[in-house]
């Protein structure tokens, strides 16, 4: 029998599709989803992509453009997206048995036979049972499948990349278009005259190993159709959450940075608690403007926590220390952010022996805090400092209701 192939299912414009699921009238309307603090664009509908609005662009830069085309804007709603994501993967599991969740909206799986029929059926079942449009690419390796998926997205949502097709295409596929190739790797390839997949494949393996190391060899193997990365049974949950944003004006005032870091900590931890997740590491970053003379003076620092936590007070304390260590007095900072890493499901018994009692108290406090903020108004009760009228802040006012996770917001179907 032929060697098995690898498939990659990817939900189309995932966050946008989740929002549209409950607002079907938005089907052909331009839609964007903003990061949870309304800073940047994190998902775009096809209409928005076609307009050339890039991923990650700050909201204030495109606000007017969006208004002109009558776009609908949402704040990120992670509890909803995670719930829909779970549904997608549970349908995949029913259909396939084995699959490897790669991100919130992507999963790899093994295709043993009849790839066309299998993926056509899989696409139909997921779309019928969950209601989220998906694209599927199939090829010999994960790296090729990722590329096949991009072809699927340009066409009818399915692309099975066979060997002949691949050898014709590899003449023009640029290495920079591939999964995991960007920035420094791309530049290094360029410096050695390697621009396309064919360039890399026609290079001698020993030379590649010498110049680009083991990751270069792996990429070469994957592109040659020899799988280096196998489909594992382990489902990888989301690995990190980030909250960051640019200030409207640069600042050299550490109090403003403390204020913004505290805001981001509250933000990520509220999301984490809503998802019942904890983190084992926290990273703080502060950056000057990319266009200033201080561009190289920014930085980030990470701390490992004694036990996985989603406790705002613990994380705020650590984040403030990291900020103090990073801060340089003469640098005008333009952006700050907090990332929680090493995420895992929160469970009882995760506490270390010594912080057990303290942890108990905070858990109660945190849930009181969350419910007050939900009842009254976001950020009405906060942990940590908060400057009044901070110029950098804005509120997320356009978040969609919690359709699937809060009873009060569940959509009601009426029969006539």
Chain residues in the site for Mg ion (CB under 5 A): 10-11, 14, 105
Indicate the Cα dihedral angle 131, 135, 141, 146, nearest 10°.
Answer: -120
CB contact burial 244-283 (16+ within 10 A = b; e otherwise): bbbbeebbeebebbbbbbbbbbbbbbbbbbbbebbbbbbb
Q: What are the helix and strand counts (H, E) for the chain?
A: 13, 13
Return the number of the residue (55 or 376) whose C-beta is nearest Mg ion. Answer: 55
Supply the minimum distance, in Å, between the C-beta of residue 118 and Mg ion: 20
Quick one: 133 or 332, whose CB is closer to Mg ion?
A: 133
* Residue with Cβ nearer Mg ion (46 or 374): 46
Closest CA to 5 of 150, 163, 121, 234: 163
Shortest separation between residue 85's beta carbon and Mg ion, angstroms: 10
Pair 311, 352: CB distance under 8 Å: no
CB of 105 to Mg ion, least distance (A): 4
Rounded Cα distance between 314 and 305, Å, is: 9
Contacts for 402 with CB less than 8 Å, ≥ 6 apart: 77, 79, 80, 409
Instruction: Give the Cα separation of 365 and 414 in Å (integer).
Output: 39
- 336 closest CA partner among 304, 294, 382, 288: 288
Q: Phi first, then psi: give them for residue 344, nearest 5 degrees.
A: -145, 160
Q: Nearest distance from residue 245's CB to Mg ion, in Å?
A: 23
Q: Distances from the Cα of 81 to the Cαs of 11, 60, 390, in angstroms?
A: 11, 24, 30
Q: Between residues 81 and 212, which has the closer beta carbon with respect to Mg ion?
A: 81
Q: How far is the CB of 73 from Mg ion (least distance, A)?
A: 19
Task: Choose between 19 and 105: whose C-beta lies nearer to Mg ion.
Answer: 105
The residues facing 103 across adjacent strands are 106
Residue 137 or residue 298: which is nearer to Mg ion going by CB? 137
- Give the nearer residue to Mg ion in terms of CB position, either 32 or 314: 32
Looking up tokens 């903003």, which residue turns up?
A: 34
Q: How far is the CB of 226 from Mg ion (least distance, A)?
A: 27
Closest separation in Å from C-beta 225 to Mg ion? 25
């Amino acid at each position: 029998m032929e060697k098995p192939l690898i498939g990659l299912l990817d939900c189309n414009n995932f966050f946008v599709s989740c929002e549209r699921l409950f607002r079907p009238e938005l089907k052909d309307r331009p839609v964007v989803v903003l990061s949870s603090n309304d800073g940047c664009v994190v998902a775009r509908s096809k209409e928005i992509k076609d307009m050339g609005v890039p991923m990650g662009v700050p909201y204030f830069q495109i606000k007017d453009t969006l208004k002109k085309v009558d776009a609908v804007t949402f704040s990120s709603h992670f509890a909803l997206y995670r719930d829909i994501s779970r549904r997608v993967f549970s349908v995949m599991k029913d259909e396939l048995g084995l699959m490897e969740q790669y991100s919130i909206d992507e999963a790899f799986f093994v295709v043993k036979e009849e790839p066309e029929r299998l993926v056509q059926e899989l696409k139909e079942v997921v779309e019928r049972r969950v209601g989220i449009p998906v694209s599927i690419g199939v090829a010999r390796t994960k790296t090729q499948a990722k590329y096949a998926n991009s072809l699927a997205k340009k066409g009818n949502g399915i692309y099975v990349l066979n060997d002949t097709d691949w050898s014709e295409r590899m003449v023009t596929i640029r290495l920079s278009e591939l999964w995991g190739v960007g920035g420094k790797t791309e530049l290094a390839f360029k410096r050695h005259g390697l621009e396309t997949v064919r360039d890399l494949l026609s290079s001698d393996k020993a030379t590649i190993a010498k110049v680009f190391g083991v990751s270069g060899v792996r990429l070469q193997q994957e592109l040659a159709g020899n799988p280096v990365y196998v489909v594992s049974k382990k489902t990888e949950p989301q690995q990190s959450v980030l909250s960051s944003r640019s200030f409207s004006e640069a600042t050299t005032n550490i109090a403003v940075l403390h204020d913004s870091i505290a805001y981001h900590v509250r933000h990520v931890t509220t999301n984490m608690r809503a998802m019942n997740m904890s983190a084992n590491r926290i990273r703080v970053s502060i950056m000057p403007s990319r266009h200033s003379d201080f561009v190289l003076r920014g930085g980030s620092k990470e701390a490992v926590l004694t036990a996985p936590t989603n406790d705002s007070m613990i994380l705020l304390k650590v984040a403030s220390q990291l900020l103090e260590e990073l801060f340089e007095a003469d640098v005008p900072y333009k952006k700050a952010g907090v990332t929680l890493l090493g995420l895992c499901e929160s469970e009882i018994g995760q506490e270390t022996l010594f912080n057990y009692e303290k942890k108990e108290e905070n858990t109660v406090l945190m849930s009181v805090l969350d419910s007050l903020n939900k009842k009254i108004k976001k950020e009405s009760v906060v942990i940590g400092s908060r400057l009044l009228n901070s110029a950098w802040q804005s509120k997320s006012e356009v978040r969609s209701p919690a359709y699937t996770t809060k009873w009060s917001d569940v959509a009601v179907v009426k029969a006539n």
